[in-house]
Structure formats: C-alpha cells, structure tokens
Amino acid sequence: MKHIFKIILGLTFIVYSLNSFGQSKKYYQGNKGTIIDQTKYDEHKISIKDKMKSMQSMQLVEDFNELYNRNDSIVYSYHWHFTDNPKKTIKEIQRKKAIIGKEYPISQETTLSGKTISLNDLKGKPTLINLWFTSCAPCIEEMPVLNKLKSEHSDKFNFLSITYDSEEKVKKLFEKHNFDFEHIVNSRKLTTKLGFNGFPVNLFLDKDGIVRIIEGNVPYYKKDGGELVMSDGKEFLLILEKLL
C-alpha cells in the first residue's frame, strides 16, 4: 500500500508535552471517532507495540492535535504513524502543523469548472478544504458525507477540494462517483509540497482564510452490534460552526 495513505510504517514517538496542562484529565479521539481516557490510550499503545515487536525496524510516531480544552479536561485527536524512518515522518508532521495559524496559499487557481479562485474568494465564511486523490479508497468513501454537508450548509460555509491528480484522472473517477465540491486539480503545490502525504485530509479555515484545524477522514463510530459505520459528518459541522 502506498505511503500516502494515512497509515505510514513505524514505532518511536513524538512527545507533545501532554503533561504540561496541569491536572486536567486527558482524553483521546481516534480516526474512528471513539474517545478513550489516558489509561485506555496507554493500554492500547502497549498492545500495539507488543504486536510490532517482530518488526524491529518499525517505530511508532504519535501525532496529537488538541480538539477541546475545558476547565477539567482536554480532548486530543491522535494519529499513529508506523515508519522505518521516524525522523522523516516527524518532519512531515511538523510541516503540516506549521501551516496552522497561517493563510492557506491559494492564489489564482483554475478549478475543474474553469473558475478562477484565490483565497480572497473564500474569505467571509469558514471553509472546509478536502485533500484527496483518485486511488484513495477512504477519500472516495467519505464523498457522500461531504456532499451532504455542502448541500445542507453551502449558505454558511465554503467547500473546496484539492488533489495532485490530473484533470483526466479526476474526470474519469467522476464518471462513477459524484463529488459536489469546487475542485482544484493537478496541484502538488497545495498538497504534497505543504507536507501532506496521508489522505484524506480535511482542513478547516476561519473566515479570514486562516488554517485553524487539520483532521483526517470523516470519523467512524461503532453501532450497538459492533459494526463500524461512517459518521454523518456532524463532527465536521461542529468545527465549522465554531469558526463562524
């Protein structure tokens, strides 16, 4: 499987000073939407490390993003990257995090529909930018959820997709799959060159075009019978509404 999927090969970790937040209880939300406490998180990490002992060259890199910080608790999203080159993986993570708090560098791009778009065109509303590519199964799976978000909330928010794939590849995929965003294609400048190598990525910009939050795919949740199903996008809607 290509390294551009969210799971990258490895086992060492980045410590983001999680103990520097006083006595607040810490909770962790994975990419399936499940929230666990510190004890469960540590147990899960130990279990994964035990399973990886036979792969001696692999190291675990932990990637945390703060979601909520309340008086008595902090909730982080987390992603685990398994890699045989932790230094390279850490640099990729740091490059992505470096754009948080900065304008997303969209400048006079031509969309698939022939429209010219720049960051100024997005200002005034919060924006969801979806980064994807045509051979990414998780990217395709979340398209109906993203379409629904746009259909119901395009009056309040902007919705834009960006891929490094060619116009030809994108149009061929759209013969089978509907993705009702405005699309910028053939752009490594706005994807991999910014440090994005795991897809899908969902970026949340405030009304001034500043990147505030970076997430992976639409979360999953577990039904009563244990089946994992994709969320209806309510988590993404909550983030956008907080940026109004």
* Local mean pLDDT, 10-residue blocks, the chain (244 residues): 40 40 76 82 89 80 83 85 83 84 96 96 98 95 98 98 98 97 97 88 96 88 79 94 95
User: What would the two tokens of residue 188 be?
Assistant: 């490594």
Smallest CA-to-CA distance from 41 within 93, 90, 77 is with: 77
The whole-number pLDDT of residue 88 equals: 81
The 10s digit of each residue's pLDDT in 102-138 is 999 999 999 999 999 999 999 999 999 999 999 999 9
Structural domain includes residue 104: no
Q: Are 131 and 191 in contact (CB under 8 A)?
A: yes
Are residues 91 and 118 both part of a single domain? Answer: no
The whole-number pLDDT of residue 182 equals: 97
For residues 185 and 110, give the distance between their C-alpha atoms in angstroms, rounded to a whole number. Answer: 8
Report the domain count for the chain. Answer: 2
The whole-number pLDDT of residue 14 equals: 40
Are residues 204 and 162 both part of a single domain? Answer: yes
Domain-terminating residue out of 97, 126, 152: 97
For residues 114 and 112, give the distance between their C-alpha atoms in angstroms, rounded to a whole number. Answer: 5
Residue 199 pairs in a beta bridge with: 5
The whole-number pLDDT of residue 6 equals: 41
CATH number at residue 227: 3.40.30.10
Return all residues near 89 (Cβ < 8 A) that are at least 6 apart: 8, 10, 61, 81, 83
- Given 3-state DSSP classes, what are the helix, strand and coil percentages for the chain, each rounded to the nearest 5? 25, 30, 45
The whole-number pLDDT of residue 13 equals: 40
Structural domain boundaries, residue 74: 18-97
The whole-number pLDDT of residue 18 equals: 42
pTM (two decimals): 0.72
For residues 101 and 99, give the distance between their C-alpha atoms in angstroms, rounded to a whole number. Answer: 6
Domain-terminating residue out of 56, 74, 97: 97
The whole-number pLDDT of residue 224 equals: 77
Kindly state the DSSP code that residue 189 receives in the 8-state scheme. T
The whole-number pLDDT of residue 32 equals: 64
